[in-house]
Amino acid sequence: MILSVSRRTDIPNYYSEWFLNRIKQGYLYVRNPVNVHQISKIVLSPEVVDCIVFWTKNPQPLLSRLDELAAYPFYFQFTLTGFGHDIECYVPHKKKYMIPIFWELSRKIGKERVIWRYDPIIFTDSYTPEYHLKAFEQIAKELHGYTSKCVISFVDIYTKNQKKMKALNSFFLSENELTAFSKEIAFIAKRNDMKVATCAESVDLSSCGIEHNCCIDKEFIEQIIGYKIQANKDKNQRKECGCMESIDIGTYNTCKNGCQYCYANDSQESVFQNCKLYDVNSPILCGKITENDKITERNIKSLKEKQSSIWDILL
C-alpha cells in the first residue's frame, strides 16, 4: 500500500503529532467523504505500507521527529510558490522561513526525496507571467542542490474555488503564450540542475522540455524502496492524473493554510468547526465516531511483487 499523507489537508504542518501517534498505535480510521457514515480502518504496519508520500507547504513540525518513521520509506511533495499572503494566507514567509526549512529537510533525507512543487500557477494582474518567471528563478536558485525535480501545474477551477478565482481576476494564457512561458520555466530549472514536469495537465509541454509527471510514481517509489511493486492507476483521481493507487488518510475541510485556490475546503468556517474536533489521541482526524457509523477494516496488503522460485517454475 502507498499511504498518501495527504492531498486533502496538510498533515505534516498541522496534524503531525496525530499522525505519529497513529503510527505508534499501528492503525487509523478514515471517513469516506462520499458516504460519511462509512469508516475504514487502515492498518499501518511496515509490512503492508510500502511507502508514505507526504504533501505539505510546511513540514517543520516533523523535522525533529523523522526518526520515528525509520521503519517506513517516504518522500515529500513540498509546495513552495511565489504567492504572498493574499493567495496563501497562513503560509510563513518563503525566503525567511520556508526555504531554510526546505534546506533542512533535504539535508536530513536527501535531495531526491524532496520534490519541489511550484503549483498551482495562477495568472492575475498582480501575478503575471513575468512575475512567476522571476519568482520561480529566485526560488530555483535558492533550492539549487537541494532538490532534483520540480513539479508545476496550472490552476484548475472547481466549484469550491470558482468565486475566489473570479474575485482575483485570474486568466489563462493563449497556447503560444503558454509555450513561451513553459520554455522559460524549463530553461530556469535546467540551469539549476532540476528536471521539471507537470501535474495532472492535459496540455503537452514536451516540446518545451517539460514532461508529464506522476506524483505517486511507480518507478520512483521502486527506486526508494528497493523492490518492484504491482499497482494500477488511481481511479479516484482526475483522468489527467497518472498517479498509481494509494490510500489517502486526510479529512477535507481541515487545512488551515487558507489558500485561495484550495479545492479541499468548503469555507474557513467549516475548517474552524472541524478543527475543534482535533484530538491527537483519536483514531480519526478531526472527527468523532457516532452510533450511526460503520467501521470496516480495509483489506490492506503490500504491493511488493512476489518473485517465483525455481520450484514454482518446475512444478
* pLDDT tens-place string over residues 232-259: 888 878 777 878 899 999 999 999 999 9
**Is pLDDT at 102 greater than 80 in this prediction?**
yes
Mode of pairing for the β-strands spanning 74-79 and 114-121:
parallel
pTM: 0.94
Structural domain including 10 reads 2-314
pLDDT for position 164:
82
pLDDT of residue 80: 98
What's the pLDDT score for residue 308? 46
**Residue 80's CB: how many other CB atoms inside 10 A?**
23
pLDDT at site 165: 84
| Interatomic CA distance for residues 43 and 49, integer angstroms | 8
Q: Which of 72, 60, 74, 64 is closest to 24 using CA atoms?
A: 72
Q: Which residues, 6 or more positions from 277, have their beta carbon under 8 angstroms from its beta carbon? A: 286, 287, 288
Instruction: Average the pLDDT over 206-225 and give the result.
Output: 93
Query: How large is the average pLDDT for residues 21-29?
Result: 98
Amino acid of residue 28 = L
Q: What are the CB-based long-range contacts (under 8 Å, 24+) for 136-139?
A: 136/82, 136/185, 136/188, 137/188, 138/82, 139/80, 139/82, 139/94, 139/99
**Residue 57, pLDDT score:** 98
The angle subtended at Cα 170 by Cα 168 and Cα 175, nearest 5°, is: 170
Query: Binning pLDDT at 50, 70 and 90, where does residue 307 land?
Result: low
Number of structural domains (the chain) is: 1
146-150, 211-215, 268-272, 309-313: range with lowest mean pLDDT: 309-313
